[in-house]
Structure 1
Amino acid sequence: MRRRDLLTLAGATLAGPALLKSAPAAAAPAVPPGYRMTWFDAKAPGVTGRVGSRDITASGDGSFWFCGQRNGTLNRLDPRTGAIHDVKLGEGSAPHGVIMGPDGGAWVTDGGQNAIVRVDPRDHRVQVWKLPERFPNGNLNTGVFDQQGTYWFTGQNGSYGRFKPASERLDVWEAPRGRGPYGITRTPQGGIWYVSLAGNHLAQIEDLDSARVRIVEPPTPNQGARRVWTDSLGRLWISEWNSGNVSMHDPRDGSWRAWRLPGERPRAYSVWVDPADKVWLTDFPANAIVRFDPVDESFLAFPSDRPGANVRQMDGIAGEAWGGESGTDRIVRIEYGL
């Protein structure tokens, strides 16, 4: 694999309200001290059309998997060289979310194939499990594994489900309030929670055997809860697309708090909580990744150096936050604590 060209920015000071203004296309944004931004081309050798780089996850060996929603691929990026290997998932594929399973495989929610897909990390063999016929267009979104190794997933057209790899049993249910199930997470205590974008609520799968769902109402009406991620304490951090808030629900006492992202019209798309419990979000109108510190309630933004970045679901490892710029066909890394 050939070495790819990388663009890296580091060290300049960025402060105050200017944090959330989009950088001009020809100008590189300033980067706060202690941080470094690097962009990687998301196209494998020979790829000429759009990739649609979106949800991303760490593989555990230093590489990163990311979905190519536009060209039906799962891609493996080696950050040391910028080299990318793409895996074609099947006819009509449009992968949305990817996570690592306890078996080491990359597990994908594929809206185009209406299926759960697994890619083997060694030989890149692709396995596909289609949803039942009564759910012909689930619009599959995001998945997570519970502590027993069962894979739970959401379908934005009004469903949620689970897949048991050992028996290859796939169950799907209608969501209690119809359309909207989107982001999903597992807390350190083992709870499985999802949010509904169209349904404007948080939901707990409170019984993993029966798959019974309990609805939890956020305090902000019509907030557009899009993604959810747990912190080390089991608190649930939610990106609210309609309200522009990041909210936090603590299941231990039922409390809620919310903070509006800076700027005139923020729209919080994704949320990821790093190992130090700092909260990372993406804001489409600001064309930026935003870091929120719950301790001092401060925001810090990292604009893209190109317009229309549209960073989808983030993920990362200690010291590194990662995201897919779906609008520019690039992957962005923010190193922190430098």
Structure 2
Amino acid sequence: MLRRSFLQLGLAGLAAPALIGRTAAIAAETTETKFTVTYFDIPAIKGSRDVTDAGDGTLWVCGQRNGTLGRFDPRSGQLKVVELGQGAAPHGVIRGPDGAAWVTEGGQNAIARVDDKTHKVELFKLPEGRARANLNTGVFDKSGILWFTGQNGVIGRFDPNTRKMEVWDAPRGPGAYGITLTPSGEVWYASLAGNHIASIDTGTAQVTVVEPPTPGQGARRVWSDSKNRVWVSEWNSGNVSAYDTLSKSWKTWKLPGDKPRAYSVYVDDADKVWLTDFSANAIVHFDPVTEAFNSFPSDKAGANVRQMDGRSGEAWGGESGNDRLVRIQTVKQA
């Protein structure tokens, strides 16, 4: 892979140190496509974990190790740091229908809403008896209800209009991890410890477990494509799998390299699949049509990209081990 690097000073942040530098690498996948990789240092966000598009060109990123939520503008290098509260340890962040950032806040055992204009933080605590749920990830259904997972064996939903919070035991105990919404409106989640994926009936909260074809695979995260296929990153097996919710059939592929460990999965608007491989310290691109993989190793050890998200032409991840963000842009050649 051809690589080049450059250093560019950024503008001052709004409330904390902002972009320090960035390094770019270019890799040609085919004669029609190339990828540009850019790194953004955000040292004020410790343990830069889950990321999501904020809808205005900026991104939200969780600082799991210092209880913060960052709003980063890659165009200017500006970084706004929002303190989430004493003992905060945010895991997941998504953009809600109201434009706000919604955070699964494991440290305070709460769902946090951060207003996209004022950055005011509201906390919605889990019910009594649901302490230490180890909140993981959330998704909004088509009715505007937030569904979320907790690794200590819970699934739940929160209605932002009525402020009603409901939490249930996940089948088979601990493990509920990544969660996604399909185009048809189904909510699916993965159970890492339970080695399965499951659908949630958004009306009754009834859970239906679906077994992946590889035993003990360690289904970690899930993401739906435009065809109602649920893509699964398998931590133990090193596979990426796709479950077609319409035909109820599976396809499975092994990530390249020696003993891959697939952590995150994200499907972009072109139905291309992005994964992270902890063994290779890399982001991996997979084309389901050609079944070709392309790997983008980090230029720093211990990147630990635990989740990815993106927008048209861009895939983003947080290098939680290096306190920085990584962006991979897909450029179609003329």
TM class by shorter chain equals over 0.9
Instruction: Tell me which of 133, 138, 160 is aligned to 1:138.
Output: 133
Which amino acid in the other structure matches residue 306 of structure 1? K
Correspondence for 2:75 among 68, 71, 80: 80
- Residue 53, structure 1, aligned to residue 48, structure 2: yes
Asked if the contact 2:67–2:87 (Cα under 8 Å) also holds between the matched residues in 1, the reply is yes
2:166 is the alignment partner of 1:171: yes
Q: Say what the alpha-carbon RMSD is for the aligned residues.
A: 1.5
1:147–1:12 distance in 2 versus 1, CA, 3 Å: closer
Equivalent residues in 2 for 1:1-150, closer than 5 Å: 2=12, 4-11=19-26, 34-44=34-44, 51-150=46-145
- More displaced 10-residue stretch of structure 1: 280-289 or 80-89: 80-89
TM-score, normalising length: structure 1: 0.91
Question: 1:25 maps to which residue?
Answer: none
Residue type of the alignment partner of 1:34: K
- Answer yes or no: is the 8 Å Cα contact 2:22–2:41 preserved in 1: no
1:229 equivalent among 201, 223, 226: 223
CA distance in 2, matches of 1:73, 1:11: 32
Matched positions, count: 316
Name 1:306's counterpart in structure 2. Answer: 300
What amino acid is the match of 1:7? Answer: R
Q: Output the CA distance in 1 between the equivalents of 2:172 and 2:60.
A: 32
> Structure 2 stretches of 5 or more lacking a match?
1-10, 13-17
Structure 1 residues 13 and 204: alpha-carbon distance in aligned structure 2, compared to 1, 3 A threshold: closer
Pairs within 5 Å for 1:149-298: 149-205=144-200, 207-298=201-292
- Assess, with a 3 A threshold, how the Cα gap between structure 1 residues 112 and 156 changes in structure 2: closer, same or farther: same
Deviation at 1:5, TM superposition (A): 3.1
Letter in 1 for 2:46: V
Residue-by-residue CA offset, 1:28-82 (whole Å, 9 max, x unaligned)? xxxx9721111111224xxxxx700010000000000000000000000000122
Using the TM superposition, give the Cα deviation of residue 4 of structure 1 relative to its aligned residue in structure 2, in angstroms: 2.6
Structure 1 position 10, deviation (Å): 3.5
- Structure 1: where are the runs of 5+ without partners? 16-31, 45-49
Structure 1: how far apart are the matches of 2:20 and 2:216? 43
1:331 to 325, 331, 334: 325
| CA distance, structure 2, for counterparts of residue 266 and residue 276 of structure 1 | 25
SS at match of 1:189: coil
Distance 1:86 1:146 in 2: 28
Per the alignment, residue 20 of structure 1 pairs with none
Letter of the structure 2 residue corresponding to residue 104 of structure 1: G
- Runs of 4 or more, structure 1, over 6 Å off, are none
Aligned to 2:15: none
* Seq. identity, %: 62
Q: Deviations over 1:84-135 (max 9, x none)?
A: 1110001100000000000001000011000000000101000001111211
1:7 partner SS: coil
| C-alpha contact (below 8 Å) 2:188/2:198 kept by paired residues | yes
Paired residue for 1:27? none
